[in-house]
Amino acid sequence: MTRALVLGGGGPVGIAWESGLVAGLAQAGVDLGQADFTMGTSAGSFVGARLALGADAKTLADPILADKIPGEERRPAGGGGPPPDLSGLMKLMGEAQGGLRNPAEVRAEIGAFALNAPTMAEDAFIESFGRSFASLPVDAWPDRGFACTAVDAQTGAFQLWTADSGVGVVRAVASSCSVPGVYPPVTLNGRRYIDGGMRSSTNADMAAGHELVVVVAVRLGAGGGTLGERIAARFNEEIETLKDGGATVITITPDEASLEAFGVNLMDFRKRPAAARSGLAQGLAYAKDVKAYWS
């Protein structure tokens, strides 16, 4: 049986919660790091890359639980001000993912916004982001099956980075994490790329072909309302695509305690330790149910 792990986007808070969740599951006997194929979007690309590169799943959240913040996860502005207002971005994401307009055209609008936004320089972003992968050659890619998602900032085209793409994992993951208006678009093969979450927060349909797929989604339908419902409907379509292909799908979303720990803004770095703790507790609690399928 081939097993796939899909890790969705969710900002720094999502990185913390997913890391805690994976650690809790591993400590209770379910090591998602042993997946045959791991695919991440945005925050999930960072967590997934660490797993695919061999990080110990049981200790994945330890730096966050200790409130040690690596360079790639620091607030972009470097100061103590409030998290950026991403309400406009969320509206466009809802339009792209909810089918209100041509998705690629909307993503191109998001890309234009990202290309013109005042952020840190791309080189500075890559330098700080890559600290967790500092020992890797520039063209390194995990030996274990791994992919991450991005979007072409100029055309809005979706991009799935794999071992065959001819790019290094550090820049590929950085591009997947490049939240428009917060981080700079990342250059790969002469083009600029932004967060893969602009297509979908999970892009779970890209894991088709595997017999068991565990999908970890940080937040579905954020903000509620019609747009939120459409985003949630898109996620359900992805799950149905996997099932139609013969896969058994396990979906893990935050429980009530985790949602309370998140707060309203997934870019709020202050929420990371609490999110990691809630993820750890949820992983420990959910392990028995997941183990029946994963083992």
Tell me the average pLDDT across 206-213: 97
The confidence band for 88, taking pLDDT boundaries of 50, 70 and 90, is confident
Q: Which of 1, 16, 78 is nearest to 46 (CA)?
A: 16
**Amino acid identity at 210:** H
The confidence band for 166, taking pLDDT boundaries of 50, 70 and 90, is very high
pLDDT value at 86 more than 80 = no
Determine the straight-line distance between the first and last CA of the chain, rounded to whole angstroms: 10
Q: Using CA atoms, how far apart are residues 71 and 51, in angstroms rounded to an integer?
A: 19
Tokens of 71: 């360079």
Neighbouring-strand partners of residue 224: none
The confidence band for 78, taking pLDDT boundaries of 50, 70 and 90, is very low
Higher pLDDT: 265 or 61? It is 61
Per-residue pLDDT of 223-260, as tens digits, reads 556 666 777 888 999 999 999 999 999 999 999 999 99
Neighbouring-strand partners of residue 160: 149
Residues 6+ apart with CB under 8 A from 250: 212, 213, 214, 215, 290, 293
Tell me the average pLDDT across 270-294: 96
Specify the DSSP class assigned to residue 83. P
Nearest 10 degrees: Cα torsion 187, 189, 194, 196: -150
pLDDT value at 131 more than 50 = yes
**Which pLDDT value is given to residue 220?**
73
- Burial status of residue 85 (CB atoms within 10 A of its CB: 0-12, 13-18, 19 or more): exposed
Higher pLDDT: 135 or 80? It is 135
**Which pLDDT value is given to residue 226?**
67
